[in-house]
Structure 1
Amino acid sequence: MNFATSQRGAGLIEVMVTVLILSTSLLGLAALQNRSLQYNHSAYLRSQANILAYDLLDRIRINRKNIDSYSLTAAADPPAGSLLAQVDLREWRQNIASALPGGVGGISCTTAQVCTVTIQWSEQDGSGVADANGQVDADLSSFQYTTRI
Structure 2
Amino acid sequence: MKLIRKNQGASLIEVLIAALILGTALLTLTSLQTRSLQFNQSAYLRSQANILAYDILDRIRINRDKATEYDLALANAAPTGTKLSEKDLKSWLDAIAVLLPDGDGSIDCDAKKCTVNIQWTEQLSSVIDENETLIFTYSSQI
> Same fold by TM (over 0.5)?
yes
Partner residue, 1:115: 114
- The answer as to whether partners of 1:125 and 1:137 remain within 8 angstroms in 2 is yes
Number of residue pairs aligned between Structure 1 and Structure 2: 141
Partner residue, 2:18: 18
Partner residue, 1:53: 53
Amino-acid identity (%):
50
- Distance in 1, matches of 2:63 and 2:41, equals 34
TM-aligned CA deviation for residue 110 of structure 1: 2.4
Q: What is the identity, as a one-letter code, of the residue corresponding to 1:89?
A: L
1:12/1:57 Cα in 2 relative to 1: closer, same or farther (>3 Å)?
Answer: same
1:94-122 Cα shifts (integer Å, max 9, x gaps): 000001111001100124x1101000111
Q: Name stretches of at least 5 consecutive residues in structure 1 with no aligned partner.
A: 130-135
Does residue 1:91 correspond to 2:91, yes or no? yes
Partner residue, 1:67: 67
- Distance in 2, matches of 1:28 and 1:141, equals 29
TM-aligned CA deviation for residue 127 of structure 1: 4.4
Which of 133, 136, 140 is residue 140 of structure 1 equivalent to? 133
Q: What is the identity, as a one-letter code, of the residue corresponding to 1:16?
A: L
1:9-60 Cα shifts (integer Å, max 9, x gaps): x711000001001100110011011101110110010000000000000100
TM-score for the superposition, normalised by structure 2: 0.91
Does residue 1:125 correspond to 2:124, yes or no? yes
TM-score for the superposition, normalised by structure 1: 0.87
- Distance in 1, matches of 2:77 and 2:127, equals 31
- The answer as to whether partners of 2:114 and 2:140 remain within 8 angstroms in 1 is yes
Q: What is the identity, as a one-letter code, of the residue corresponding to 1:79?
A: P
- Distance in 1, matches of 2:69 and 2:21, equals 64
RMSD: 2.0
- The answer as to whether partners of 1:120 and 1:141 remain within 8 angstroms in 2 is yes
- The answer as to whether partners of 1:72 and 1:78 remain within 8 angstroms in 2 is no
Partner residue, 1:42: 42
Any idea what SS the aligned residue of 2:136 has?
strand
Q: What is the identity, as a one-letter code, of the residue corresponding to 1:87?
A: K
1:65-116 Cα shifts (integer Å, max 9, x gaps): 10110100112112221000011101100000001111001100124x1101
Structure 1 segments of 4 or more deviating over 2 A?
1-5
